Every structure is written in structure tokens, then in C-alpha cells.
Structure 1
Amino acid sequence: MSKNTDFDLIVIGAGLGGSAITWALRNSNLRIAVLDRGGPLKQEAENWDPDEVLKKRRYDTTEVWYDEQDQPFTPRVYYNYGGSSKFFGGSAFRLRERDFISHRFPDGETIDWPITYNILSPYYDIAEKQMHVHGSAHADPSEPPRGKYPHSPLEHEKSIEWLSQRIEMQGLHPFALPSAVHQGDGGHCQKGSPCDGFPCKIRAKFDGENAFLRPALRENKTISMFPHTRVLQILHNSNGTRVTVVKAVNTQGEQISLSAGIVVLCAGAVQSAALLLASVSERYPHGLGNASDQVGRNFMSHNNTVLMALSPFRKNPTWFQKTMAFNDFYADGGNVQMRGKILHQNLERSGTFLMRKFSRFIAERSFDFWVMSEDLPDEQNRVELRDDGSIRLSRKLNNLKTHKQFVKQIKRILHKAGLPIIIERPPSPSAIQHQVGTLRMGDNPETSVVAPDGRTHELENLYVADASIFPSSAAVNPSLTIAANALRVADSILKTYSKS
């Protein structure tokens, strides 16, 4: 751990956004410090052990949050370099052009982003190259304008190719899912190893750490890392226009105070909001940068339904299942994609006796899907702090009419494809794998927290570069957009730094 306490720039959080912005600024001559609540995840045999990961929850947090009824729950979040991207399945979608524009659903509407797809597009190009994204351009009918992918698409295994053909026969357009798993085309992924929901033991999955942080640290040996360090508060100057000091504590109980000319908040949608709410002062009695009372509001995390579709007479021996998606109903429903292959260890934790009893039978036969719809912004879906400083996450599911109709539609398609039995796991308020929102980006300081350039409206040197800035959730995985936007914010910082 660095002994320096004075830096040009401090990054709080080494997840996907924090790792990407650190990489983008690696050659800037800025003295950079990166603080993370976790540290590097050990490459070990247990990375790929389903019993360790799924049953014993080896890498899960033990932290307890509370829902709107003050009932405790343990969130599915990870504190390590790369953050939750360490456990993602590799899906690397761009937002559609329509995702940046307000649109209506039967149960509500989204809002405009203050930037357009065209602004973010060149940063998507950089992010895809750095994350070694595989894909097939123009195969997805909802895809925005783009060039070639950096790598050729992942190949379907035999059973997935069979299913893709059966879906295509219904007039639909299944395509190769864009993936940051470097498999084939010079990659070193070992098929047969667990992937979706597991860390990659051989670093073939280009999560935040592998794609951005490790390359940045290799190129710039002066970046100071502060692992296992929890940030407690951000302090500001006397008139409340600039942040000045980041106060933190490490696992040894050592109190740390760091100063910097620029601070970039990248702790994730929940923790970034929680940190600003904890940073109270006479100038900001309701939390740092929270004069608008928008900090923590508009939490979103997608409506995700898992479908396990099977025929009792057909096994699915696929090793790597997450290679197919289709977006034919994106505008009115959302995205459908294969998820990582369900294992019997997944089902042995089920609350249903029959699922546990027949876990191996189901796992050997199921074709497993994410069916994903938008979660609409709602001010009452929010992050707050309880009196003891713990997190309260209030969330009421919305846009369910659209989502339920969409799920029914997909089930009919899978039935026609020859999979008569479908087991459904519906959305849950406590499922927060795709958390976004809480520090909305916008032009109006009264209804947003962050300006379009990534800077908070009220503090001229406090930036945010994680998923908390999303004004809407869209209906595709947020990972690639988090990285691309962090690269865009880095350019904004460089322009400001060069002037000063």
C-alpha cells in the first residue's frame, strides 16, 4: 500500500467503471490512487468449483442490507478488483439507439439520456477492443450502427446450433451473443470450465480487472493501489464547491486520509449513492451533492426471468451455453439470451422439493435463458442509510405487465422449438445483478446528480463513472456501456486537466 497521501486523482472503486477510467488515464501523468473495498481475487482451483462457488458462496459478501420493510437480506454483490464483472457471463451489448430516447410502456416510461448513441459509439469501439469482444455485426436486427467486432463470434455447440435453427424456423433472428470471453480466434478459454457466475481461473474472461486494471498497472508502475480499503466519507472545501479529502479505513483498522485535485466515484450504483449520503456536512446536510434530493433515487436492476426449457427425451450436453441471443421483440419486450449452463448445484439450493429431488435430471436436459425487460426509473426505488449506517434498498418491481407478456411469448417460442417443459424463476426485488441508476446523469440539476460530462452538478472536481449515472436501464446487460462511458468521462477529465 502506498504511503503517499497527496494525489492528482483518486478513483474510488476498482470495478468495471473504476478499472476502465484508470486504464484510460494511465498515460496522463496524473498521480493516481485507486481505493477498493476488496482486492485481487486469488486464482485458485476453487474458482471453478461449483460446490465452493454456488453452495458455499466462497466469494460472496457477508454484508447485510435491508429492504423497505427493514427486513434483512444478503445482496449478491462482490468486493474485489473487477467488482461484479469478475462473475459476469461475458455479455457485451451496446445500448440500442432507442435506449437513449424516452419511450413508453403500459406501466410507465423511461427518460431521455443527455447524450446520444453517436457520442458513446467511439468509446464502445475502444471498450470492445480492450475487452476482446467476439460477435457478428449486423446479425442482430435491433443493433445500432457499428463496424466489425474485434473478434469472430463464438461458435455454437451442437445442441445450441439445433435450438438456434428451430428458433430461426419460426421467422426469428437468433444471433451470436457478443461476448467478452476470449474463446477461439487466438483466445485461451478452456471449454468445459464454468464461466457465468464464476471467476475465470485462467483470465480468459475480460472483466474489469483483466481488460483494464491489470494492463494499466503493467504500463504505469506509479499508480498507487489501496486494496481492502473502505471509503467512509468524502470531505469538501469551506464553500462546498470542491471535494478535498477522501477518508477511509483498511481491514487492519488503519485510518487513511487522501487528498486529490479530482475524485472519481466508481463504487457501483448502491455503494456510490450510499457514500454520498454518508458524506454529510453543514453545507450538505442530506448528503454530498444532494441539494436536489436525487442521490440514491431511481434505482433500477432489470426485470430478469430465468427459463429452464427442456424435453425429458433430449439431453443438453453443452459445455459453454452462452453463445446465442435474439432481440426480435426488443422494442416491446426486451432481450433473450442464453445464460451459463444450469448445474445441479444451482438447483440443490432451490426452495422447491421437486427441483432439489430431480436436480440432476433437469440440469442434464435444460436449455437455460435470461429473459430481460426494462426496469423503469422510479424515485421511490431508492438507496437510503439507516440510523446505524447500514443500507436500506427500497425496490418495488415495475413494468411487469410488459415483462410477463414477453415471458409468455418466449415460452411459446420454446415450446414450438421442441422444449415442452419450462421451469420459470420470476424477477425478485432482491436480485440486483444489473444495478444502475441512483446518481442520474442529466442537464437539469434539479432532477439529476451528474452533468453530461460526468461531473457532479454541485462539486466541480467530483466525477462519477459507474452504472449509477444511467438515466434508464435499457434491456441489455450494462457492462459494456459502463466501460464505454467511463472512457468518455476520462476524456472529459483530460480536457479539464490540460486546461488547468
Structure 2
Amino acid sequence: MTAQHYDVIIIGTGAGGGTLAYRLAFSGKKILILERGTFLPIEKENWSALEVYQRERYHTQERWHDTNGKTFRPATGYWVGGNTKVYGAALLRLRERDFEQVEHKEGISPEWALKYRDFEPYYDRAEELYDVHGQSGIDPTEPPRSLPYPYPAVRHEPRMQELANLLTQVGLHPFNLPLGLKLNEVDRSLENCIRCNTCDGFPCLTRGKADAEVNCIQPIRDRTNVTLLVAAKVTRLHTSPSGREIARVEAEIDGEHQFFTSDIVVVACGAINSAALLLRSRNDRHPSGLANSSGQVGRNLMKHNCTAMVQLSTKLNSDVYQKTICISDFYWGELSFPYPMGLVQNTGNVLADMLPAEAPALLAPLLKLRPGAELKAIADRSVGWWLQTEDLPDPDNRVRVEGDRLYLEYKPNNTEAASRLIQRWATVLKQVDRAEHFMPFSLYPRNTIPLQAVGHQCGTCRFGEDPTTSVLDLNCRTHEINNLYVVDGSFFPSSAAVNPTLTIVANALRVGDYLLKQLM
């Protein structure tokens, strides 16, 4: 079955695909959006740590394979809105220097062909589109900006404010984490966000999180030129006989294979699945996978070196919404380690039902206690911290497919910098705890985030000017196929050490402007 012809087909509705669909929708051009998932249900389980963290209710059931062929269940979900449905809504710009070549202790972070100045106006628009709350002038690594944040910073609750004050006392520069929330702290009648304790990693029951479904897909669903098909898994892209154009998009819908055609095809499945789709679509003209004469499709997978650390003490933490502090003082290193180390920010609340799934080894003896009051006592005296260090592009870190099997071959790198950040932050927390005079009891257990956590994935179809070393040109069109674009985190040449979502959104707006000119 072959359906009607479209001007643009967009595959995926996450930060890249959803944003691009929104940008193009008001042009009047005929757009088809194909999403393999459905709408994430609005249900009480959205706020259940037991369901979300222990039972992984909103993650796919599919199995991927690691380097040794061992299977694992990836922490990723297929929903309208993609993984923004469960992201923490931290929306930061890359630092200006992140677009330059940067020397790290264990290698080089490569220069981008485009610079911060090329992305800056799109960052402004991305922050407006995704309701970003923040305050400029405090972050010591903040890049220059043309406009202020669209909304004021999300305020610290009492315990987080205490910690921010103490961090300042020990010589750091904590700032309010930029967050994409539908929050109005002046007039609560105008808000969806209620500052609940289940935001980071949870779906939002009140639609108070600025995600790609709520902010981009829902506002365009009633447009007559936009068609959204859910539960439509794209299985293959078919090229013309010359191999220079995508002639048909094949999707499985209700157990049947359907074909769609368009002038432009945009892949936005997330860096891992976008690369996998190109590799699975190999044909005689593209025997190594679509747009892969460079051999770079699927390579240079990056996802940050991430560590969750718990600040556990006798001090009661009654704050409801806790993910508001960010620290960039060690982003570029320090005197004793003059190499980039990374970013520190709060996690969401540490809840009792999260501990069995998330707690690191140092908490294991405590977790043998019967569940209930004991676990809650631990959670109520905890503050969660998230540490992330840049991982460097490595061609041997890659996505590979064999038939229906998807392999992630990934070995962490830049680990010394990550270890230095962990040690440095533990030292900072000890200083803070001593300043509060509730020593001697404090612990800082930590947990390195494993392979299956792929939330910050990027780099598998890097963009660049040289088709022998990149997959995409600077407009994110594949070098080899004239009407094929990739618009998600795949295009990153390096990962930097800030959350990638805002850059994915800004880039989708940038590419959207370019595509509108092509469609005129």
C-alpha cells in the first residue's frame, strides 16, 4: 500500500523531530509525522516511584546488546514527545568554548564547523518555545546572550537555598538551573506545574513539564496540513535507483507494511535509533548503510560520563521540588587539574521507592532494612546530585546492527576527569556539612550510570564540511542523499558536558528555517 505524497516526512517526535514539526507546521506545507510510540497515558502511575524506577513502566521492553553480546533493556521510551516525556527539563546552552577544540586530560574534543554565534539566536527561540526559566549573570561559564531568559528562575525551596548559600560561602558560584516548566510562581492560577516531587525521570501528570509533545506536537495537531500517525514504526528507507534520493519510507502499522513518499525525509529517532535505521536501510547503492560511504554512521556515540551522588546526613530535607541548583565552577577544571571536569546539578528528589533501584553499593546495608519507614527516613535526609563529564568522540564507540539486533559497543573514556569531579564534589559536600555543624554523620554514596541509561545520546551522524569524515552537511542533510536529513542529537561532533536537549531544539529550529527556504 502506498499512501499520498507529502512535502515533508518527519520520523520521530522528540526534541528534534517534535520541534522541527512545530517549526514547519505553520508554513502550510503538507507534513506527515511518523511516531513508533503512542501517547504516554495520563495516569496516577506517572507519579509512582515504584512504577517508574523499579518497574520501569515507561521504558521499552526491547532488548539491545553490549560489546560482549549480553542483552540489556535500554532506559528509553517510545512515546509522542520521545524521551522528553521523562526528562528532567534541564535546558542549558553549550558554553561558547565548547564549539572550539578543547584539550582534555585523555584526548581532544573537536572543533565544531559552526560556532556559538551561529546557534545563539536559535537558543533564544528554543528557550522561548520550551518555557525556560533562568537567571543570567551568575553562572561563571555562561555564554553571551542577546535576550534575557523568557521566565524568571525557578526559586530554591528552603533546604536548597541553605545549600546554595553554603556553596557560596565555600567559594563557589551556584546558580539556578535553567528549567523548562510551565510554572508561574506569581499567579498559580496560570500554571500547570505544581512543583511536585516527581519530575526528574517521571512523566508529568499535570502537563507542567515543557516537553516536545506538550509544547510542539499538541499545538499543531488540529492543522489540516499536518498528519500524525502513532504506532507507526519506520523499518526501512528505500532510495531511488540512483541512490541519491529517498523514494519511499516503509513503516509497520497495525501489523501491515505501508509506504509513504515525500520531497524531504527527516530522521529524528534519537542518535542511536537514527543511526540504526540508516544502517538497516542498506542497499546495493549504499552497501554499508545509507549515507555511510565515510563509515561514520553509528560511530562516535557519546552519552556523558554520569554519576548520581547522594548527600545523606542527619539534616531533614523537606523540600518538595529540589532540582534547582547548578554548579559550573569545575567545568573547565581548576589549578590542580587544568583540564575540563564537568557540571554538577541537583537530581530530582530522592524518594524511598527509588532507593532499591537507584541506590549505590554504599547504601546496600541500609537497604536490607524492611521497606517503609526506614527507607523513607533515608530518603527524607538525602539530597541528590548529578555529575556529568564530557565523553570524547571515539569511532570505536558505536551503534551496530546485525539483522534485528542492535549493538552498543561503548567503552567509557575521559574517566580521570570524571573521577576528579567526583572526588572534588565529595570534598565540597564535606565542607558544606562541616559548615552546618551536623557532622559527624554524613555519607556521599554514588552510582556510576550504566550503559543502558542512554538519555544524553549524541554523535552518531556527526555534521561537518568534509564528507569523508562526517555524515551530514552543516544543514544536517546527508552528504550522499539529497532529500535526507537527520535532526536529533546525532549531529553533535562533541558532547560538551551540559545536557544536550536545548542544543537539539535550537538546531531543529535552525534546520527548520533552512528547510522552509528549500520548500518555497
TM-score (norm 1): 0.96
Which of the numbers 447, 450, 457 marks the counterpart of 1:435? 457
Compute the displacement of 1:242 (Å). 1.1
Rounded Cα–Cα distance in structure 2 between residues aligned with 1:3 and 1:223: 18
Which residue is 2:102 aligned to? 103
* Deviation per residue, 1:274-293 (Å, 9 max, x gap): 00000011100110111111
Which residue is 1:214 aligned to? 218
Rounded Cα–Cα distance in structure 1 between residues aligned with 2:18 and 2:106: 36
Q: Which amino acid aligns with 1:111?
A: P
2:233 pairs with 1:230: yes
Which of the numbers 330, 341, 353 marks the counterpart of 1:345? 353
SS in 2 for 1:91: coil
Moved more, 323-332 or 259-268: 323-332
Which of the numbers 424, 428, 433 marks the counterpart of 1:409? 424
Which residue is 1:260 aligned to? 262
Percentage identity across paired residues of the two chains: 39
Which of the numbers 345, 350, 354 marks the counterpart of 2:365? 354
Equivalent positions of 1:332-481 (< 5 A) are: 332-349=340-357, 350=359, 352=361, 353-356=364-367, 357=369, 359-386=375-402, 388-418=403-433, 420-481=442-503
Summarize the Cα distance change of 1:285–1:248 in structure 2 as closer, same or farther, 3 Å threshold.
same
Report how many aligned residue pairs link the two structures. Answer: 493
Rounded Cα–Cα distance in structure 1 between residues aligned with 2:245 and 2:3: 21
2:154 pairs with 1:154: yes
* Deviation per residue, 1:230-262 (Å, 9 max, x gap): 111111111111111100102x20211000000
Q: Which amino acid aligns with 2:397?
A: N
1:292–1:449 CA contact under 8 A, matched in 2: yes
1:15–1:267 CA contact under 8 A, matched in 2: yes
Rounded Cα–Cα distance in structure 1 between residues aligned with 2:350 and 2:43: 22
Q: Which amino acid aligns with 2:507?
A: N
Compute the displacement of 1:4 (Å). 4.2
Which residue is 2:315 aligned to? 314
2:312 pairs with 1:297: no
Q: Which amino acid aligns with 1:224?
A: T
SS in 2 for 1:213: helix
Summarize the Cα distance change of 1:280–1:355 in structure 2 as closer, same or farther, 3 Å threshold.
farther
Rounded Cα–Cα distance in structure 2 between residues aligned with 1:430 and 1:337: 21
* Deviation per residue, 1:159-199 (Å, 9 max, x gap): 00000011000111001100002223443311234111111
Equivalent positions of 1:151-230 (< 5 A) are: 151-185=151-185, 186-218=190-222, 220-230=223-233
Q: Which amino acid aligns with 2:76?
A: V
Compute the displacement of 1:351 (Å). 7.3
Which residue is 2:74 aligned to? 75
1:134–1:182 CA contact under 8 A, matched in 2: no
Moved more, 471-480 or 40-49: 40-49
Rounded Cα–Cα distance in structure 1 between residues aligned with 2:182 and 2:230: 27
Q: Which amino acid aligns with 1:203?
A: R
Compute the displacement of 1:104 (Å). 1.1
* Deviation per residue, 1:1-51 (Å, 9 max, x gap): x99431111001111110000000011221100001102112122211222
Compute the displacement of 1:347 (Å). 1.0
Rounded Cα–Cα distance in structure 1 between residues aligned with 2:427 and 2:84: 32
2:279–2:297 CA contact under 8 A, matched in 1: yes
2:7–2:30 CA contact under 8 A, matched in 1: yes
Rounded Cα–Cα distance in structure 2 between residues aligned with 1:64 and 1:355: 32
SS in 1 for 2:16: helix
Rounded Cα–Cα distance in structure 2 between residues aligned with 1:233 and 1:97: 38
* Deviation per residue, 1:390-433 (Å, 9 max, x gap): 10000000000111011111110011001731011124233211
Rounded Cα–Cα distance in structure 2 between residues aligned with 1:481 and 1:110: 17
1:348–1:359 CA contact under 8 A, matched in 2: no
Q: Which amino acid aligns with 2:482?
A: E
Q: Which amino acid aligns with 1:246?
A: V
2:50–2:354 CA contact under 8 A, matched in 1: no
SS in 2 for 1:496: helix
SS in 1 for 2:25: coil
2:2–2:260 CA contact under 8 A, matched in 1: no
User: Which stretches in structure 1 are left out of the alignment for 5+ residues?
Assistant: none
Q: Which amino acid aligns with 2:233?
A: R
Q: Which amino acid aligns with 1:216?
A: I
Summarize the Cα distance change of 1:120–1:355 in structure 2 as closer, same or farther, 3 Å threshold.
farther
Q: Which amino acid aligns with 1:276?
A: L
Summarize the Cα distance change of 1:481–1:242 in structure 2 as closer, same or farther, 3 Å threshold.
same
Q: Please list every run of at least 4 consecutive aligned residues from structure 1 whose deviation after the TM superposition is greater than 6 angstroms.
A: none
Which residue is 2:329 aligned to? 328
Which residue is 2:439 aligned to? none
Summarize the Cα distance change of 1:355–1:224 in structure 2 as closer, same or farther, 3 Å threshold.
farther
Rounded Cα–Cα distance in structure 2 between residues aligned with 1:88 and 1:76: 11
SS in 2 for 1:293: coil
Summarize the Cα distance change of 1:347–1:305 in structure 2 as closer, same or farther, 3 Å threshold.
same
SS in 1 for 2:309: strand
2:503 pairs with 1:488: no
Moved more, 391-400 or 23-32: 23-32
Which residue is 2:437 aligned to? none
1:277–1:385 CA contact under 8 A, matched in 2: yes
Rounded Cα–Cα distance in structure 1 between residues aligned with 2:417 and 2:155: 32
2:342–2:497 CA contact under 8 A, matched in 1: yes
Rounded Cα–Cα distance in structure 2 between residues aligned with 1:301 and 1:140: 23
Rounded Cα–Cα distance in structure 2 between residues aligned with 1:176 and 1:105: 27
1:347–1:355 CA contact under 8 A, matched in 2: no
* Deviation per residue, 1:425-460 (Å, 9 max, x gap): 124233211111100111110011000011110011
